[in-house]
Amino acid sequence: MSDEQLIIIGAGVAGLAAGCYACMNGYDVRIFEMHTLPGGMCTSWRRKDYVFDYCIHNLAGTAPESDVRRVWDELGALDETRIINHDSFVRIEGPGGESLEWYTRLDRLAQHLNGIAAEDSRTIDELIQSARRLVGADVFALQLGGMARSLGMLTRMPTVRRWSRVKLGQFAERFRNPFLRRALPHMQYDIPGAEVPMLAPLMFMAGFESGDLGWPVGGSLAFSRRIEKRYLDLGGVLHYKAKVEKIMVEDDRAVGIRLADGTEHRADRIISAADGYSTIFKMLDGRYLNETIRQYYNEVGDSSPFGYIMFLGLEGELPREPFGEGHALTLIFDKPLDLGEIEQDSIHVVGFGPETGLTPEGRSILKIEGQARYPYWKSLHDTDPQAYIAEKERVAGVIIQRISPWFPMLEDRVEVMNISTPPTVERFTGNRYGWQAGPPKENAAEIMRKGLSRTLPGLERFHMVGQWASAQLGISSVAIQARSFIKGLCRQARKRFVVNG
């Protein structure tokens, strides 16, 4: 072991990955986690015979030849894990019965879209050709750096710059076909199209074409458990039920942590892989800020597209027809759904059968995702717990009634129902509002390149890794970021960075 000791706050994917790479390179590492499980938001939970998976939709790095796969192999994240690759990313169905199948192969998708809207052939061709220009670029791996990878992106940078400035909803307006114009803003997990840069679906289209972005059997907690095992096998120490309340600072240098039980632990460096707001404004009392950081957290919205998530454990097999050739379905309605201070004209449904490892034979799961406002659910939760439970069930009933035409006898088949709201996620992960990090509203390109709070102004020996450190989403992104961070420490120490432990 190295003489240098590291303390990592949080055993999510970022914290575990940083711990793994630090152990591989001889650092003495301890991780402190408030929960009893690894993974943070990359988690699942069991209810009776069902495992309800919270996190992974499509995972970058499932293709054996992708550069991100190298990171997962180093972390043991996909050891002996079967990957499910669907022929369709999502099926979108309109209120009049129109349907769009977003196929994962570009030739097939182009043929399908032209069959729906021949009048939009030029716009469709522009979409498909833009995605083709990103095939082979392995955009999700760009953070790994390297001259060859950077040079390979040079010819693609005009495509990246162009489409990062266009929102999905804006692009949809170019279509003359009314169904495509309405359907396209719903294609990226039903996140409102005004919030999604076109670069995101194009990256997904290119990734699918390369055979990437599959789903690991066993789901999110099993994925996190494998990284946890790798960390422990490398000699790392992991403390559960150890909530960090304060980061100890002496002479503007981070020297340790104080837990909720009053115990103190010291180290040479403190790394937070925890929620950004809690880290900066609570553990450090908001003492180390700049205007960019302050502005980012002031602009965090109070609603989320994944705020209300309902899981249904069903007797019987998953009906295939509504999902087409995939396992995700977005339904668009003429009459909005009342989701509690939010009206939404669509709902996103994901189906899981026994092949996913989440449910036994003869059973299936529906995961239904909708928008939610944190203040609404938090107020109910804190002031009137019975009203909170009743409102969760009311919204569930509204959704079940609306989707039942696509799932016959749905109410009679429900064996288990479980509902997550923003206060649920906040309670179990510590994430403010129960949200994930979102892209910055100002100076986005600069922040994405340099990071938001990988270090804090005026504070030495302190670092952050994870989604809040760079203001970007993605499990692969935080793992690569953790790898790069430890590689940087090794460079500072003038020692060779190794990945085989």
Q: What is the rounded CA–CA span in Å between residue 294 and residue 388?
A: 32
Mean pLDDT of 477-484: 95
**Is pLDDT of 3 > 80?**
no
**Is pLDDT of 424 > 70?**
yes
Calculate the average pLDDT of the chain: 94
**Is pLDDT of 104 > 60?**
yes
What are the residues whose beta carbons fall under 8 Å from the beta carbon of 202, sequence distance 6 or more?
Answer: 127, 130, 131, 134, 159, 163
What pLDDT, on the 0 to 100 scale, is given for residue 449?
A: 72
* Residue 183 DSSP SS3: helix
> Long-range contacts for 375-379 (Cβ within 8 Å, ≥24 apart)?
375/302, 376/340, 376/341, 376/342, 377/307, 377/308, 377/340, 377/421, 377/422, 377/423, 378/422, 378/423, 378/426
Nearest to 184 by CA among 121, 269, 127: 127
What pLDDT, on the 0 to 100 scale, is given for residue 445?
A: 67
**Buried residues in 250-279 as b, exposed as e (16+ CB within 10 A):** eeeebbbbebeeeeebebbbbbbbbbbbbb
Mean pLDDT of 86-101: 96
By percentage, how much of the chain surpasses pLDDT 90?
Answer: 86
Asked if 158 and 144 count as a contact pair (C-beta separation under 8 A), the reply is no
Nearest to 217 by CA among 45, 359, 367, 13: 359
What pLDDT, on the 0 to 100 scale, is given for residue 1?
A: 47
- Give ∠ CA 319-401-379 in degrees, rounded to 5: 120
What pLDDT, on the 0 to 100 scale, is given for residue 195?
A: 86
What pLDDT, on the 0 to 100 scale, is given for residue 2?
A: 57
Asked if 20 and 77 count as a contact pair (C-beta separation under 8 A), the reply is no
pLDDT in tens, 214-252: 999 999 999 999 999 999 999 999 999 999 999 999 999
What pLDDT, on the 0 to 100 scale, is given for residue 78?
A: 97
pLDDT in tens, 338-366: 999 999 999 999 999 999 999 999 999 99
- Bigger pLDDT: 299 or 150? 299
- Asked whether the CA dihedral 370, 375, 380, 385 is positive or negative, the reply is positive
**Is pLDDT of 380 > 90?**
yes
**Is pLDDT of 201 > 50?**
yes
What pLDDT, on the 0 to 100 scale, is given for residue 148?
A: 65
Mean pLDDT of 154-166: 87
- Work out the end-to-end distance of the chain between its first and last CA atoms, rounded to an integer number of angstroms: 11
Residue 447's pLDDT band, with cuts at 50, 70 and 90, is confident
Asked if 334 and 326 count as a contact pair (C-beta separation under 8 A), the reply is no
Size of the chain in residues: 501
pLDDT in tens, 55-81: 999 999 999 999 999 999 999 999 999
Mean pLDDT of 96-114: 97
What pLDDT, on the 0 to 100 scale, is given for residue 12?
A: 97
Q: What is the rounded CA–CA span in Å between residue 255 and residue 266?
A: 6
